[in-house]
Structure 1
């Protein structure tokens, strides 16, 4: 498989990891959109939210709990943060591996400005 995020999980592509457990890896985004911009991915290759079903749905709640922990560890929990998932080409997904962006460290008002 030629998936950049799978290669990060395998360790064949380096990343600035901030968290890892048996189910997920979290690392700093190489093109951050905020002072804190972390990517959280499942170790299992799941292409997008469209592939979430009864057999793998618990990974999403694990990712959300992981994002909450990382936000606290990085000091953005109290001020607030954003968790984003892009699904499919028109949804802005550029890597075909389920991932969530944890963004914070600045005012995250919508629309961005």
Structure 2
């Protein structure tokens, strides 16, 4: 089963979910803005994505990124904590099969998991 960290207000997230559903794949939808991932869950997703730097999973254009001064932060733990406290900072959508994950930007990127 696939899991999508989903924001229904995001067009890319909706398009990615539509691709999964069109492929007939069972999917668990996690509205990550409401069901906020812990720092440990974000770390697990980074591992599935094959990423070492939490900043690679951050939406650096968000106002909260600038407000918190995250550009100057280099400690991974601090970045993970910021994402867990402010889930708007997490890039979306993210789709996982439990072993591998893909950021659905563009939405077609998810096809490698289908």
Fold agreement, TM-score > 0.5: no
Structure with greater contact order relative to length (CA < 8 Å, sep ≥ 6):
2
Higher helix share goes to which structure?
2
- The normalised TM-score by structure 2 is 0.28
- The normalised TM-score by structure 1 is 0.28
Higher strand share goes to which structure?
1
